[in-house]
């Protein structure tokens, strides 16, 4: 069983929610790449995460929707290092960052109106540009 991932004082991913698998990494590496399983596949049962509010859980579901496996677990992989232990730490950090991102409540956008002066300036620039482009056209032949 893995060690729990502590996100904040109240939010943590318990060790029982984590499933770790080591697989062979892709890419260059010579003979070593065919012998050593350094890539880490870490899966997390999202329902087992402790301390999440319903809103944070909904945000986490939205953030991780494209990273879920067939059983609904979050899949995080890491093959950044040639060392399996470092890849495990990297995968755990990725999970911690994802859960921490779900805890941040997005700012509510307040609709504002464009000021009259800004609108007038935009239309003035647009008019000047149109005049400039019209001046570039070939003059009409008068018969």
Quick: pLDDT tens for 22-39. Answer: 888 777 766 777 777 888
How do the domains of the chain map onto residue ranges? 5-103
Does 59 score more than 90 pLDDT? Answer: yes
What are the Cα distances from residue 132, in Å, to 37, 81, 122? Answer: 65, 57, 16
Q: Is the pLDDT of residue 80 over 80?
A: yes
For the domain covering 5-103, report its CATH number: 3.30.160.20
Region of 22 on the Ramachandran plot (φ > 0 left; ψ -120 to 50 alpha; else beta): beta
pLDDT per position as a tens digit, 120-135: 999 999 999 999 999 9
Mean pLDDT to the nearest integer, 68-79: 90
How many whole angstroms separate alpha carbon 98 and alpha carbon 1? 21
* pTM of the entire predicted model: 0.72
Band of residue 143 on the pLDDT scale cut at 50, 70, 90: low
């Amino acid at each position: 069983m893995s060690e729990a991932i502590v996100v904040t004082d109240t939010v943590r991913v318990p060790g029982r929610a984590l499933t770790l698998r080591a697989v062979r990494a892709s890419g260059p590496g010579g003979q070593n790449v065919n012998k050593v399983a350094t890539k880490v596949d870490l899966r997390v049962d999202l329902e087992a995460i402790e301390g999440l509010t319903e809103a944070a859980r909904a945000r986490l579901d939205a953030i991780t929707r494209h990273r879920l496996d067939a059983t609904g677990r979050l899949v995080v992989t890491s093959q950044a290092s040639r060392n399996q232990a470092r890849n495990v730490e990297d995968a755990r950090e990725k999970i911690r960052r994802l859960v921490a991102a779900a805890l941040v409540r997005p700012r509510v956008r307040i609709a504002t109106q464009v000021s009259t002066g800004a609108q007038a300036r935009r239309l003035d620039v647009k008019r000047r540009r149109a005049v400039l482009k019209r001046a570039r056209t070939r003059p009409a032949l008068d018969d």
